[in-house]
């Protein structure tokens, strides 16, 4: 089935033109004909969205594989999934989905083996499953729960408080929180959280998010009476993440600035007022307090160690001492355990788990089940019982318990998936990027795959903000594998797989390295006989949507299909909406003359020209208040106009959906079925 450009909905082109200054002092004029699509609530935009969805439904509804994927995905998702438990006071807690619930429930028990009772079921909070439990913080004594919910995929969080014994909510309600957890006072009388002023009417979706404040809420009091702990009107881009040390002595604040991994580190005695001691007063490296012993903080940092190290820092004397030096693998996480430190590091994008004494001596490596990733490492400084989840491409996330220092991983339960993993295998290969950099990728396919160059293959990537792509189990991908597809996950510069140097090599003026890495992986798959250009699709979300948009505009000949999801696609205006300004540490901004030419060189929206582009399915949510849907709307309208080939350009726009977090299982399955059916239709031909 093919769609020609004359069947696309009408997208009127306006006359808006913007002027920018480049590094040479020249004025650069850039047209923006679809500026009207930046208003998501205008009648014109809503009508346009409805027409695009009708077109997409007509096409996708005619794909024979769609229903087959929906049925199989429902089977593959329908197995019990439980997260790693965590302990507070005498109670254990876990997230659990028995199968096809739209949202996992929060459960509580007196042992890590159960029996479990439901503490909070977010499926009862809405009729369509679009209200999600996004955060759950339990007081130190295990008696009270602070829980944050989001609606319709929005990043805005509302906090509630529930009594764990009775399962009943208290009257506390805190609105307009974002990018924040809840940090309890030791006696459970209240907690710290981050909040913004209520947005003006009509600005909830697109208004910029600045001036976060660190607040203290006392239970049983109205939000209007919450104490402002930190506010910095002189630094509108600063945010504040507060935590209380386990011994209750200190309030530690990590001061962040957008997505820049570098932060400030402030501390003061918990019950003291007045100024904080600024342990780190310049944004020069990431610092994370992972625990404490009296006045000594244990700090994980990349200061003078791009792959990470651990040091002690005495709050009273200022003395610092390195205890775990930088190693060959990137240090991702450190937790304090009795007389020890437990670290998670990355080696070629898979995890290793290592136990040290608190003085820094290596105690032992803890064997992991296979090549994969550690999730939800839950530990307390005074409890030898540690919990974690482990996953790989072919094994569901499985909860484990280990008793330190000498115990081995003990399986708490075994997921009962209907997927037969024995027929498939995971291999790791390396591509050489344009500048000779070695770029790893995982290839998941049927065992003994014959490399004849015709396998329908999906190449997935991200490459940004120091985020590492590790092996992970996805029920969605299994249906693709079962029907003969190959799945490839690339580990690109811009991520954190090899530490901060790897991240920085894919930022600002070096952002093109990320796209070169992805293109090199595609060319490697073709030269190695895994697939061919007609059979190769690419997919990525958010910053990964930018990746897909940039690569399909730079090399439309290399791909048979493209799926940019909730993508950052307009690199000249991304910083003007919601939290977009925070991404400048990776991208730079168009109002900086030194970055303008770099952004224009790869901005997907601004590099569309008349050409035969691959079949493209653009997905977004009409309530996405992180990467606003205008990115996808404008890119889709321009791409439909520029398409000179016969491959379709479709937009699939979910209503009551946002950037992805908290999306109901029902919507996840529906979207995945559409994506896989679309890819199969175009890549198997």
Question: Of 92, 66, 96, nearest to 81 (Cα)?
Answer: 96
CB 108 within 8 A of CB 90: no
3-class SS letters over 197-249: CCCCCCCCCCCCCCCCEEEEEECCCCHHHCEEEECCCCCCCEEEEEEECCCCC
DSSP state of 343: E
Cα gap 681→616, rounded to integer Å:
12
Query: Is 624 one of the annotated active-site residues of the chain?
Result: yes
Q: Single out the catalytic residue among 659, 674, 681, 682.
A: 659
DSSP bridge partners of 253:
242, 266
For residue 179, how far is the Cα from the chain centroid?
13
552 phi and psi, to 5 degrees? -75, -25
Cα gap 664→119, rounded to integer Å:
19
520 membership: H or E segment, kind and range: helix 512-527
| Residues sharing a CB contact under 8 Å with residue 511, sequence separation 6 or more, in sequence order | 494, 586, 587, 598, 602
**How many CB atoms sit inside 10 A of residue 540's CB?**
28
Cα gap 572→599, rounded to integer Å:
7
User: Tokens in use for 302?
Assistant: 């990349």
User: Tokens in use for 331?
Assistant: 């240090």
Cα gap 72→466, rounded to integer Å:
34
Q: Single out the catalytic residue among 586, 624, 625, 674.
A: 624
Query: Is 474 one of the annotated active-site residues of the chain?
Result: no
**How many CB atoms sit inside 10 A of residue 639's CB?**
25
Query: Exposed/middle/buried for 257, CB within 10 Å: 0-12, 13-18, 19+?
Result: middle
State the residue for tokens 């653009």. Answer: 618
Query: Exposed/middle/buried for 43, CB within 10 Å: 0-12, 13-18, 19+?
Result: exposed
| Residues sharing a CB contact under 8 Å with residue 309, sequence separation 6 or more, in sequence order | 300, 301, 302, 322, 324, 325, 326, 331
Q: Single out the catalytic residue among 11, 139, 542, 603.
A: 542
Q: Cα(first)–Cα(last) distance of the chain, in Å?
A: 11
138 membership: H or E segment, kind and range: strand 131-138
Query: Is 56 one of the annotated active-site residues of the chain?
Result: no
Q: Is 510 left (phi over 0), alpha (psi -120 to 50) or beta?
A: alpha
Query: Catalytic residue positions?
Result: 542, 624, 659
């Amino acid at each position: 089935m093919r769609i020609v450009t004359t069947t696309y909905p009408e997208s009127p082109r306006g006359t808006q033109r913007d002027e920018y200054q480049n590094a040479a002092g020249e004025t650069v004029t850039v047209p923006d004909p679809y500026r009207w699509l930046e208003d998501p609530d205008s009648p014109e935009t809503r009508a346009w969205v409805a027409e695009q969805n009708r077109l997409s439904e007509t096409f996708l509804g005619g794909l024979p594989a769609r229903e087959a994927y929906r049925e199989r995905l429902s089977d593959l998702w329908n197995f019990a999934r439980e997260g790693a438990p965590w302990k507070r006071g005498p109670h254990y807690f876990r997230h659990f989905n028995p199968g096809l619930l739209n949202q996992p429930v929060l459960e509580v028990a007196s042992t890590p083996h159960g029996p479990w009772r439901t503490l909070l079921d977010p499926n009862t909070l809405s009729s369509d499953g679009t209200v999600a439990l996004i955060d759950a913080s339990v007081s130190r004594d295990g008696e009270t729960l602070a829980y944050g919910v989001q609606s319709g995929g929005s990043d805005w969080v509302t906090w509630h408080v529930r009594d764990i014994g009775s399962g009943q909510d208290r009257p506390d309600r805190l609105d307009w929180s974002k990018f924040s957890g809840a940090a309890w006072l030791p006696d459970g009388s209240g907690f710290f959280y981050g909040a913004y002023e209520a947005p003006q009417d009509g600005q909830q979706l697109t208004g910029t998010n600045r001036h976060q404040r660190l607040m203290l809420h006392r239970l049983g009091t109205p939000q209007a009476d919450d104490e402002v702990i930190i506010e910095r009107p002189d630094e509108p881009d600063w945010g504040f993440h507060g935590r209380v040390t386990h011994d209750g002595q200190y309030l530690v604040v990590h001061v962040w600035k957008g997505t820049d991994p570098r932060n400030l580190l402030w501390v003061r005695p918990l019950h003291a007022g007045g100024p904080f001691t600024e342990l780190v007063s310049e944004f020069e490296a990431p610092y994370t307090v992972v625990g404490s012993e009296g006045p000594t903080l244990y700090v994980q940092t990349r200061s003078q160690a791009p792959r990470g190290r651990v040091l002690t820092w005495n709050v009273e004397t200022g003395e610092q001492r390195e205890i775990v030096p930088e190693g060959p693998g990137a240090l991702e996480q450190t937790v304090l355990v009795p007389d020890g430190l437990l670290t998670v590091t990355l080696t070629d994008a898979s995890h290793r788990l290592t136990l040290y004494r608190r003085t820094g001596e290596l105690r032992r490596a803890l064997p992991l089940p296979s090549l994969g990733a550690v999730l939800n490492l839950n530990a307390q400084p005074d409890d030898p019982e540690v919990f974690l989840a482990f996953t790989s491409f072919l094994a569901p996330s499985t909860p484990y318990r280990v008793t330190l220092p000498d115990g081995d991983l003990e399986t708490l339960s075994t997921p009962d998936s209907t997927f037969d993993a024995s027929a498939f295998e995971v291999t790791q290969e390396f591509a050489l990027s344009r500048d000779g950099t070695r770029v790893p990728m995982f290839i998941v396919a049927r065992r003994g795959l014959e490399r004849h160059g015709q396998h329908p293959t999906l190449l997935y990537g991200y490459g940004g903000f120091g985020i590492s792509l590790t092996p992970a189990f996805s029920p969605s991908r299994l249906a693709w594998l079962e029907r003969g597809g190959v799945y490839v996950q690339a580990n690109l510069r811009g991520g954190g797989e090899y530490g901060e140097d790897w991240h920085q090599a894919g930022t600002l003026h070096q952002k093109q390295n990320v796209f070169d890495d992805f293109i090199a992986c595609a060319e490697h798959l073709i030269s190695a006989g895994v697939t061919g250009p007609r059979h190769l699709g690419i997919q990525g979300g958010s910053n990964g949507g930018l990746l897909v948009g940039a690569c399909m505009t730079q090399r439309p000949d290399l791909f048979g299909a493209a799926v940019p999801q909730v993508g950052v696609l307009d690199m000249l205006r991304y910083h003007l909406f919601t939290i977009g300004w925070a991404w400048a540490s990776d991208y730079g901004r168009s109002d900086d003359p030194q970055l303008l030419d770099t952004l224009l060189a790869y901005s997907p929206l601004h590099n569309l020209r008349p050409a035969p582009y691959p079949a493209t399915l653009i997905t977004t949510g009409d309530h996405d208040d992180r990467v606003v849907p205008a990115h996808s709307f404008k890119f889709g309208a321009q791409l439909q106009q520029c398409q000179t080939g016969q491959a379709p350009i479709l937009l699939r726009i979910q209503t009551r959906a946002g950037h992805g977090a908290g999306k109901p299982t029902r919507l996840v399955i529906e979207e995945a079925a559409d994506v896989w059916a679309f890819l199969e239709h175009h890549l198997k031909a």
